[in-house]
A = this chain, B = another copy of it.
Amino acid sequence: MSRKYRVGILGATGTVGQRFVQLLENHPQFTVTALAASDRSAGKPYSQACAWKLAGSIPEYVKEIVVSPIEPPLDCDFVFSSLPSGIARETEEAFARAGFPVISNSSAYRMDEDVPLLIPEINHEHLGLIETQKIKRGFNRGFIVTNPNCAVVSFAPPLAALDKNFGVESVFVTTLQAISGAGYPGVSSFDITDNVLPYIAGEGPKVENEAQKILGRFTGSAIEKADFTVSAQCFRVDVLDGHTVSVRVKLKRPSTLEDVFAAMKTFPSLNLHSSPEHFIDVCDEPSRPQPRLDRDNGKGMTITVGRLFPDNIFDYRFVSLSHNTVRGAAGSAVLNAELLIDKGYFM
Protein backbone atom coordinates (compact mmCIF):
# COMPACT_ATOMS: atom_id res chain seq x y z
CA MET A 1 0.00 0.00 0.00
CA SER A 2 2.93 2.32 -0.37
CA ARG A 3 1.66 4.10 -3.46
CA LYS A 4 -0.88 6.89 -2.97
CA TYR A 5 -3.45 7.42 -5.69
CA ARG A 6 -4.27 10.96 -6.73
CA VAL A 7 -7.96 11.66 -6.47
CA GLY A 8 -10.38 14.15 -8.01
CA ILE A 9 -13.86 14.92 -6.66
CA LEU A 10 -16.65 15.98 -9.04
CA GLY A 11 -19.29 18.04 -7.25
CA ALA A 12 -16.86 18.81 -4.47
CA THR A 13 -18.82 21.61 -2.81
CA GLY A 14 -22.11 19.73 -2.25
CA THR A 15 -23.00 17.82 0.89
CA VAL A 16 -21.75 14.50 -0.46
CA GLY A 17 -18.69 16.23 -1.89
CA GLN A 18 -17.94 17.57 1.58
CA ARG A 19 -18.23 14.05 3.00
CA PHE A 20 -15.67 12.91 0.41
CA VAL A 21 -13.32 15.66 1.56
CA GLN A 22 -13.86 14.66 5.18
CA LEU A 23 -13.41 10.91 4.64
CA LEU A 24 -10.31 11.33 2.47
CA GLU A 25 -8.42 13.39 5.04
CA ASN A 26 -5.48 11.26 6.14
CA HIS A 27 -6.59 8.32 3.97
CA PRO A 28 -3.59 6.00 3.56
CA GLN A 29 -4.23 5.23 -0.11
CA PHE A 30 -5.57 8.49 -1.51
CA THR A 31 -4.48 12.09 -1.86
CA VAL A 32 -6.98 14.66 -3.06
CA THR A 33 -5.40 16.62 -5.90
CA ALA A 34 -8.42 18.00 -7.77
CA LEU A 35 -11.74 19.46 -6.71
CA ALA A 36 -14.26 20.20 -9.42
CA ALA A 37 -17.48 22.11 -9.04
CA SER A 38 -19.89 24.30 -10.98
CA ASP A 39 -18.75 27.35 -12.92
CA ARG A 40 -19.80 29.55 -10.03
CA SER A 41 -17.14 27.93 -7.84
CA ALA A 42 -14.43 27.25 -10.40
CA GLY A 43 -11.30 29.35 -10.00
CA LYS A 44 -11.77 30.01 -6.30
CA PRO A 45 -9.92 28.32 -3.46
CA TYR A 46 -12.08 25.55 -2.01
CA SER A 47 -12.36 27.39 1.32
CA GLN A 48 -14.09 30.26 -0.47
CA ALA A 49 -16.11 28.23 -2.94
CA CYS A 50 -17.58 25.89 -0.34
CA ALA A 51 -20.09 26.69 2.40
CA TRP A 52 -18.94 23.96 4.77
CA LYS A 53 -21.91 22.32 6.43
CA LEU A 54 -20.41 19.39 8.36
CA ALA A 55 -19.43 19.61 12.00
CA GLY A 56 -16.12 21.37 12.60
CA SER A 57 -14.21 23.41 10.06
CA ILE A 58 -13.05 22.72 6.51
CA PRO A 59 -10.02 20.41 6.70
CA GLU A 60 -6.82 22.39 6.26
CA TYR A 61 -5.55 20.15 3.48
CA VAL A 62 -8.15 21.27 0.93
CA LYS A 63 -8.49 24.93 1.81
CA GLU A 64 -6.08 26.20 -0.81
CA ILE A 65 -6.92 23.82 -3.64
CA VAL A 66 -8.33 25.91 -6.48
CA VAL A 67 -11.64 24.52 -7.70
CA SER A 68 -11.61 23.28 -11.32
CA PRO A 69 -14.46 23.29 -13.80
CA ILE A 70 -16.18 19.90 -14.12
CA GLU A 71 -14.55 18.66 -17.29
CA PRO A 72 -11.69 16.36 -18.13
CA PRO A 73 -8.81 16.24 -17.83
CA LEU A 74 -8.21 16.77 -14.13
CA ASP A 75 -4.89 16.35 -12.39
CA CYS A 76 -5.61 12.96 -10.79
CA ASP A 77 -5.63 9.19 -11.29
CA PHE A 78 -9.40 8.73 -10.96
CA VAL A 79 -12.48 10.64 -9.85
CA PHE A 80 -15.22 10.33 -7.32
CA SER A 81 -18.49 11.78 -8.60
CA SER A 82 -21.39 13.16 -6.64
CA LEU A 83 -22.80 15.15 -9.52
CA PRO A 84 -26.47 16.14 -9.60
CA SER A 85 -28.52 13.85 -11.82
CA GLY A 86 -29.08 16.56 -14.42
CA ILE A 87 -25.46 16.54 -15.57
CA ALA A 88 -24.08 13.28 -14.22
CA ARG A 89 -24.76 11.08 -17.24
CA GLU A 90 -22.98 13.20 -19.81
CA THR A 91 -20.13 14.33 -17.58
CA GLU A 92 -19.28 10.96 -16.12
CA GLU A 93 -19.09 9.46 -19.59
CA ALA A 94 -16.79 12.28 -20.69
CA PHE A 95 -14.41 11.50 -17.84
CA ALA A 96 -14.49 7.75 -18.51
CA ARG A 97 -13.85 8.35 -22.18
CA ALA A 98 -10.94 10.62 -21.30
CA GLY A 99 -9.34 7.74 -19.40
CA PHE A 100 -10.49 8.36 -15.85
CA PRO A 101 -12.05 5.66 -13.76
CA VAL A 102 -15.26 7.19 -12.41
CA ILE A 103 -16.47 6.02 -9.02
CA SER A 104 -19.91 7.49 -8.89
CA ASN A 105 -22.49 8.11 -6.23
CA SER A 106 -24.93 9.48 -8.81
CA SER A 107 -27.94 7.51 -10.01
CA ALA A 108 -27.27 8.12 -13.70
CA TYR A 109 -25.62 4.81 -14.60
CA ARG A 110 -26.70 2.57 -11.75
CA MET A 111 -29.18 0.55 -13.75
CA ASP A 112 -27.17 0.38 -17.00
CA GLU A 113 -26.58 -3.28 -17.81
CA ASP A 114 -22.82 -2.93 -18.16
CA VAL A 115 -22.20 -0.80 -15.07
CA PRO A 116 -21.48 -2.44 -11.70
CA LEU A 117 -23.77 -1.37 -8.85
CA LEU A 118 -21.55 -2.28 -5.95
CA ILE A 119 -21.79 -3.14 -2.32
CA PRO A 120 -18.34 -4.72 -2.05
CA GLU A 121 -19.25 -7.13 0.75
CA ILE A 122 -22.13 -8.47 -1.35
CA ASN A 123 -21.15 -8.44 -5.00
CA HIS A 124 -17.51 -7.56 -5.65
CA GLU A 125 -17.50 -10.11 -8.47
CA HIS A 126 -19.70 -7.65 -10.41
CA LEU A 127 -16.46 -5.79 -11.12
CA GLY A 128 -16.18 -8.25 -13.99
CA LEU A 129 -18.70 -6.03 -15.81
CA ILE A 130 -15.99 -3.44 -16.31
CA GLU A 131 -14.54 -5.56 -19.09
CA THR A 132 -17.96 -5.75 -20.80
CA GLN A 133 -18.39 -2.01 -20.32
CA LYS A 134 -15.02 -1.09 -21.83
CA ILE A 135 -15.72 -3.16 -24.92
CA LYS A 136 -19.30 -1.96 -25.35
CA ARG A 137 -18.55 1.71 -24.88
CA GLY A 138 -15.10 1.76 -26.39
CA PHE A 139 -13.51 3.03 -23.18
CA ASN A 140 -9.78 2.57 -22.90
CA ARG A 141 -8.41 3.17 -19.43
CA GLY A 142 -11.57 4.75 -18.01
CA PHE A 143 -14.75 3.10 -16.74
CA ILE A 144 -17.71 3.76 -14.45
CA VAL A 145 -18.73 1.98 -11.29
CA THR A 146 -21.56 3.04 -8.99
CA ASN A 147 -22.88 2.59 -5.49
CA PRO A 148 -26.56 2.24 -4.64
CA ASN A 149 -29.19 4.72 -3.56
CA CYS A 150 -28.81 5.70 0.09
CA ALA A 151 -32.05 4.05 1.21
CA VAL A 152 -31.29 0.83 -0.67
CA VAL A 153 -27.98 0.53 1.14
CA SER A 154 -29.87 0.40 4.42
CA PHE A 155 -31.77 -2.80 3.63
CA ALA A 156 -29.91 -4.57 0.79
CA PRO A 157 -27.28 -6.05 3.14
CA PRO A 158 -29.68 -7.92 5.45
CA LEU A 159 -31.63 -8.89 2.33
CA ALA A 160 -28.45 -10.31 0.82
CA ALA A 161 -27.91 -12.36 3.96
CA LEU A 162 -31.42 -13.74 3.66
CA ASP A 163 -31.35 -14.27 -0.09
CA LYS A 164 -28.10 -16.17 0.01
CA ASN A 165 -29.34 -18.52 2.71
CA PHE A 166 -33.09 -18.84 2.21
CA GLY A 167 -34.06 -17.08 -0.99
CA VAL A 168 -36.08 -13.86 -0.94
CA GLU A 169 -39.45 -13.70 -2.66
CA SER A 170 -41.11 -10.41 -1.71
CA VAL A 171 -40.12 -7.40 0.35
CA PHE A 172 -42.10 -4.48 1.70
CA VAL A 173 -39.98 -1.53 2.74
CA THR A 174 -41.13 1.70 4.33
CA THR A 175 -38.34 4.24 4.64
CA LEU A 176 -37.90 7.07 7.16
CA GLN A 177 -35.20 9.10 5.44
CA ALA A 178 -32.95 11.81 6.82
CA ILE A 179 -32.90 15.36 5.48
CA SER A 180 -29.25 15.23 4.44
CA GLY A 181 -30.34 12.85 1.70
CA ALA A 182 -31.86 15.81 -0.10
CA GLY A 183 -28.59 17.74 -0.30
CA TYR A 184 -28.29 21.40 0.57
CA PRO A 185 -30.38 23.52 0.95
CA GLY A 186 -32.62 20.52 0.27
CA VAL A 187 -35.64 20.28 2.52
CA SER A 188 -37.06 23.56 3.80
CA SER A 189 -37.27 23.70 7.57
CA PHE A 190 -40.82 24.99 7.15
CA ASP A 191 -41.73 21.66 5.50
CA ILE A 192 -40.20 19.31 8.05
CA THR A 193 -40.35 20.88 11.52
CA ASP A 194 -43.19 19.16 13.43
CA ASN A 195 -43.91 17.20 10.26
CA VAL A 196 -43.36 14.16 8.06
CA LEU A 197 -43.28 14.22 4.25
CA PRO A 198 -44.90 11.18 2.62
CA TYR A 199 -43.15 11.59 -0.71
CA ILE A 200 -39.59 11.90 -2.01
CA ALA A 201 -39.48 12.69 -5.71
CA GLY A 202 -37.95 9.89 -7.79
CA GLU A 203 -37.06 7.78 -4.77
CA GLY A 204 -39.65 4.99 -4.97
CA PRO A 205 -38.52 3.43 -8.26
CA LYS A 206 -34.87 3.44 -7.19
CA VAL A 207 -35.74 1.71 -3.94
CA GLU A 208 -37.89 -0.86 -5.75
CA ASN A 209 -35.38 -1.71 -8.50
CA GLU A 210 -31.78 -1.46 -7.32
CA ALA A 211 -31.62 -4.35 -4.85
CA GLN A 212 -32.40 -6.96 -7.51
CA LYS A 213 -29.34 -5.88 -9.49
CA ILE A 214 -27.11 -5.67 -6.42
CA LEU A 215 -28.05 -9.19 -5.39
CA GLY A 216 -27.90 -10.44 -8.99
CA ARG A 217 -25.60 -13.19 -10.27
CA PHE A 218 -22.62 -12.30 -12.46
CA THR A 219 -22.67 -14.64 -15.45
CA GLY A 220 -19.22 -13.81 -16.73
CA SER A 221 -20.34 -10.89 -18.88
CA ALA A 222 -23.63 -9.69 -17.46
CA ILE A 223 -25.78 -9.54 -14.31
CA GLU A 224 -28.76 -11.81 -13.96
CA LYS A 225 -31.02 -9.91 -11.60
CA ALA A 226 -32.46 -11.51 -8.51
CA ASP A 227 -36.15 -12.25 -9.02
CA PHE A 228 -37.78 -10.89 -5.88
CA THR A 229 -40.16 -7.93 -5.80
CA VAL A 230 -39.73 -4.84 -3.62
CA SER A 231 -42.60 -2.52 -2.72
CA ALA A 232 -41.50 0.85 -1.33
CA GLN A 233 -43.12 3.78 0.43
CA CYS A 234 -40.64 6.56 1.19
CA PHE A 235 -41.00 9.17 3.93
CA ARG A 236 -38.83 12.11 4.95
CA VAL A 237 -38.47 12.74 8.69
CA ASP A 238 -36.71 15.45 10.68
CA VAL A 239 -33.47 13.58 11.25
CA LEU A 240 -30.11 14.95 10.13
CA ASP A 241 -28.37 11.73 9.07
CA GLY A 242 -29.38 8.08 9.02
CA HIS A 243 -32.05 6.33 6.95
CA THR A 244 -34.26 3.97 8.95
CA VAL A 245 -36.09 1.26 7.00
CA SER A 246 -39.00 -0.89 8.14
CA VAL A 247 -38.82 -4.24 6.33
CA ARG A 248 -41.07 -7.29 5.92
CA VAL A 249 -39.74 -10.16 3.90
CA LYS A 250 -41.19 -13.35 2.47
CA LEU A 251 -38.62 -16.10 1.95
CA LYS A 252 -38.52 -18.95 -0.54
CA ARG A 253 -37.33 -21.56 1.94
CA PRO A 254 -38.23 -22.05 5.59
CA SER A 255 -35.89 -20.72 8.24
CA THR A 256 -35.76 -20.29 11.97
CA LEU A 257 -35.36 -16.95 13.71
CA GLU A 258 -31.98 -18.12 14.98
CA ASP A 259 -30.82 -18.90 11.46
CA VAL A 260 -32.00 -15.55 10.16
CA PHE A 261 -30.25 -13.78 13.01
CA ALA A 262 -27.05 -15.71 12.36
CA ALA A 263 -27.20 -15.20 8.60
CA MET A 264 -27.16 -11.44 9.12
CA LYS A 265 -24.77 -11.29 12.04
CA THR A 266 -22.12 -13.48 10.40
CA PHE A 267 -22.21 -11.93 6.95
CA PRO A 268 -18.50 -11.24 6.51
CA SER A 269 -16.97 -7.81 6.23
CA LEU A 270 -13.94 -7.22 4.01
CA ASN A 271 -10.40 -6.29 4.82
CA LEU A 272 -10.32 -2.91 3.12
CA HIS A 273 -9.29 0.31 4.86
CA SER A 274 -12.86 1.64 5.20
CA SER A 275 -14.46 -1.72 5.97
CA PRO A 276 -16.18 -1.76 9.35
CA GLU A 277 -15.44 -4.53 11.80
CA HIS A 278 -19.06 -5.66 11.42
CA PHE A 279 -20.74 -5.29 8.04
CA ILE A 280 -24.14 -6.00 9.62
CA ASP A 281 -24.71 -5.59 13.32
CA VAL A 282 -27.86 -7.11 14.76
CA CYS A 283 -28.86 -5.59 18.07
CA ASP A 284 -31.41 -6.99 20.46
CA GLU A 285 -32.24 -3.97 22.59
CA PRO A 286 -35.97 -3.45 21.97
CA SER A 287 -35.61 0.21 21.07
CA ARG A 288 -32.75 0.05 18.57
CA PRO A 289 -31.63 0.88 15.94
CA GLN A 290 -32.10 4.64 16.23
CA PRO A 291 -30.56 7.00 13.69
CA ARG A 292 -28.94 9.36 16.19
CA LEU A 293 -27.43 6.56 18.25
CA ASP A 294 -26.51 4.04 15.55
CA ARG A 295 -25.70 5.92 12.36
CA ASP A 296 -22.04 6.25 13.30
CA ASN A 297 -21.55 2.56 14.05
CA GLY A 298 -18.43 1.33 12.29
CA LYS A 299 -17.58 4.97 11.50
CA GLY A 300 -20.81 5.14 9.53
CA MET A 301 -20.07 2.01 7.48
CA THR A 302 -21.96 -0.62 9.52
CA ILE A 303 -25.56 -1.55 8.73
CA THR A 304 -27.45 -1.86 12.02
CA VAL A 305 -30.43 -4.20 12.18
CA GLY A 306 -32.88 -4.59 15.04
CA ARG A 307 -36.41 -5.56 15.97
CA LEU A 308 -36.01 -8.83 14.09
CA PHE A 309 -39.17 -10.88 14.64
CA PRO A 310 -41.38 -13.35 12.82
CA ASP A 311 -44.09 -11.53 10.90
CA ASN A 312 -47.72 -12.60 10.91
CA ILE A 313 -48.21 -12.18 7.14
CA PHE A 314 -44.75 -12.58 5.65
CA ASP A 315 -41.91 -14.53 7.26
CA TYR A 316 -39.87 -11.87 9.06
CA ARG A 317 -39.89 -8.23 9.91
CA PHE A 318 -37.01 -6.08 11.00
CA VAL A 319 -35.68 -2.50 11.07
CA SER A 320 -32.48 -1.63 9.26
CA LEU A 321 -30.43 1.54 9.42
CA SER A 322 -27.34 3.07 7.87
CA HIS A 323 -25.66 6.44 7.62
CA ASN A 324 -26.97 7.87 4.37
CA THR A 325 -24.07 10.16 3.51
CA VAL A 326 -21.33 7.74 4.64
CA ARG A 327 -22.34 4.13 3.83
CA GLY A 328 -25.15 5.53 1.68
CA ALA A 329 -22.94 7.82 -0.41
CA ALA A 330 -19.34 8.99 -0.03
CA GLY A 331 -18.21 6.15 2.23
CA SER A 332 -19.50 3.53 -0.20
CA ALA A 333 -17.71 5.19 -3.08
CA VAL A 334 -14.44 5.29 -1.12
CA LEU A 335 -14.88 1.61 -0.28
CA ASN A 336 -15.45 0.92 -3.97
CA ALA A 337 -12.17 2.65 -4.79
CA GLU A 338 -10.36 0.59 -2.17
CA LEU A 339 -11.91 -2.54 -3.67
CA LEU A 340 -10.76 -1.56 -7.16
CA ILE A 341 -7.19 -1.16 -5.91
CA ASP A 342 -7.36 -4.44 -4.06
CA LYS A 343 -8.58 -6.24 -7.17
CA GLY A 344 -5.93 -4.67 -9.36
CA TYR A 345 -8.13 -2.38 -11.42
CA PHE A 346 -5.93 0.66 -10.88
CA MET A 347 -2.63 -0.87 -11.93
Contact = CB atoms under 8 A, between A and B. Distances in A.
Given A179-B189, A185-B191, A231-B248, 16 more contacts: A53-B190, A54-B293, A174-B174, A179-B190, A184-B188, A185-B185, A186-B190, A187-B188, A188-B188, A189-B189, A194-B240, A195-B239, A196-B239, A229-B313, A230-B312, A233-B248
A290 B237 CA distance: 11
The listed residue with most B CB atoms (<10 A of its CB), out of A53, A189, A295, is: A189
A212 interface: no
A192 B184 CA distance: 12
Contacts of A189: 179, 186-189, 191-193, 238
Contact of A307 (B191, B199, B287): B199
Nearest to A317: B233
Top-6 shortest CB links A-B: A185-B188, A174-B174, A195-B292, A189-B189, A187-B189, A231-B313
Contacts of A317: 231, 233
A326 interface: no
Contacts of A179: 189-190, 193
B233 A196 contact: no
12 contacts: A15-B190, A55-B295, A179-B190, A189-B238, A190-B240, A193-B239, A193-B240, A195-B291, A196-B290, A233-B248, A235-B244, A240-B292
A198 interface: yes
Interface in A258-296: 286-296
Nearest to A281: B57
Interface in A283-324: 286-297, 306-307, 311-314, 317, 319
Nearest to A180: B190
A197 interface: yes
A56 interface: yes
A248 B307 CA distance: 20
B195 A290 contact: yes
Contacts of A166: none
A244 to B, nearest CB: 5
A229 B197 CA distance: 27
Contacts of A208: 312
Contacts of A190: 15, 53, 179-180, 184-187, 240
A201 B286 CA distance: 9
